[in-house]
Amino acid sequence: MAKLSFDYSKYRVPTDGAFSLASISPGDTQGLDEKKHKHKAKKRLKENQVRLNDLQERLYAESRQSVLLVLQAMDTAGKDSTIRKVVGDVNPQGCLVTSFKAPSNEERAHDFLWRVHQHAPPKGYIGIFNRSHYEDVLIVRVHRWASPDVIEKRYDHINAFEKMLADHGTRIIKVMLYISKDYQLERLRRRLRRPDKLWKFNPGDLKERKRWDDYMDAYQVALRRCSTPYAPWYVVPAEQRWFRDLVISQLLVDTLEAMDPQFPEPSFNPADYSPESLT
C-alpha cells in the first residue's frame, strides 16, 4: 500500500499577488486514491484530533497565544462539517466557533470590522470563524452594496486588522474551501433528495449560483490582496471531504506545534506536597 504523503504548502497563496484559482483543482488529492488511502487518511485524522486536543489544552493552560482559523467558501462546500470533523474532539472550553450571518442594524451602524473584532479569540483559545470579515469584500463586492472605492480600502483595513491580531499573539490561518460549480449543484440536489437535509436548502442559493463567476473573481482578488506572511490564505480542495479534513487538521496541528505552547510552572513547590499527604 502506498505511503500517505501530501504537502498542504502547495495550496498556500503566495504573498506577491501572483495567484490564480485555476492553478488548483477542487478535486485534487495529490495522487492519493480514496480506495487505497481513505482508511489511512481517517487514521491520520484521528491522530491529529488527539494531538489537537493535547495542544489545545497546553494553549489554554499557557494563556499567552491564540489561534484563529478563518473558513470561507461557497455554499455547500462543507464549512460546518469541516469544523465538526477537525475540531469536534477538542475541549469546547477552549474552542470558540463564530458564524457570521447578515449584519444586524447595530452592526451596520459601526465599521465593518467592529462585529468581527469582538469575536477574535482571547489568549489561550482556538477561534474559528465560519464566514468572516471577508464577506465585506466578497458578497458585498458581488452585489455592489458598497462603492468600489470603499471596497478597495477594505483590503488594507483587513490586512491592518490581521496584523494587529498577529502582533498580539494570534496565529491566523485562512482557508478557502474550494469546490466547483458542478459540485455545488450535486450537493444542492442531494439536499432536496434527503428529508434530513431539506432544512439546509435555501432557494436563495440558486440566485447566488448565477453570480458564480463574479464570486470567483471576488475571491481571487481577496486572496491576492490579503495573503500575507502573518495571515496566509490556503485554497484547500474540498470536493473529496476526507482529503479536505486531513489537510486542514494537519495544518492546524503543525501551526500549534510551531507555536509550542507550554504548561505554566506551578505557583507552589510540588516537593512540599505528596498525593498521600492530602486529606
Strands of the chain, DSSP E? 66-73, 95-99, 126-130, 170-178, 233-237
Encoded amino acid at 56, one letter:
Q
Closest CA to 256 of 59, 7, 87, 20: 59
185's grid cell: 449543484
250: left (phi over 0), alpha (psi -120 to 50) or beta: alpha
pLDDT of residue 48: 96
pLDDT of residue 250: 97
The DSSP call for residue 12 is B
235: left (phi over 0), alpha (psi -120 to 50) or beta: beta
Phi, psi at residue 96, to the nearest 5°? -115, 120
Bridge partners, 99 (sequence order): 130
Question: What does the angle CA 203 – CA 75 – CA 181 come to, to the nearest 5 degrees?
Answer: 95
pLDDT of residue 3: 64
Encoded amino acid at 220, one letter:
Q
- Write down the architecture of domain 11-24+37-259 according to CATH: 3-Layer(aba) Sandwich (3.40)
Spatial CB neighbours of 17, under 8 Å, sequence gap ≥ 6: 224, 225
Rounded distance between C-alpha atoms, residue 255 and residue 41, angstroms = 19
Q: Are 257 and 67 in contact (CB under 8 A)?
A: no
pLDDT of residue 278: 87
Question: What does the angle CA 192 – CA 238 – CA 135 come to, to the nearest 5 degrees?
Answer: 80
143's grid cell: 452585489
* Sign, CA torsion 157/143/77/18: negative
Per-residue pLDDT of the chain (279 residues; tens, 9 = 90+): 446 899 999 999 999 989 999 999 999 999 999 888 988 999 999 999 999 999 999 999 999 999 999 999 999 999 999 999 999 889 999 999 999 999 999 999 999 999 999 999 999 999 999 999 999 999 999 999 999 999 999 999 999 999 999 999 999 999 999 999 999 999 999 999 999 989 989 898 899 999 999 999 999 999 999 999 999 999 999 999 999 999 999 999 999 999 999 999 999 998 889 888 888
Tens of pLDDT along 212-271?
999 999 999 999 999 999 999 999 999 999 999 999 999 999 999 999 999 999 999 988
pLDDT of residue 35: 86
pLDDT of residue 1: 42
85: left (phi over 0), alpha (psi -120 to 50) or beta: alpha
Tens of pLDDT along 61-82?
999 999 999 999 999 999 999 9
Radius of gyration of the chain (CA): 20
pLDDT of residue 227: 98
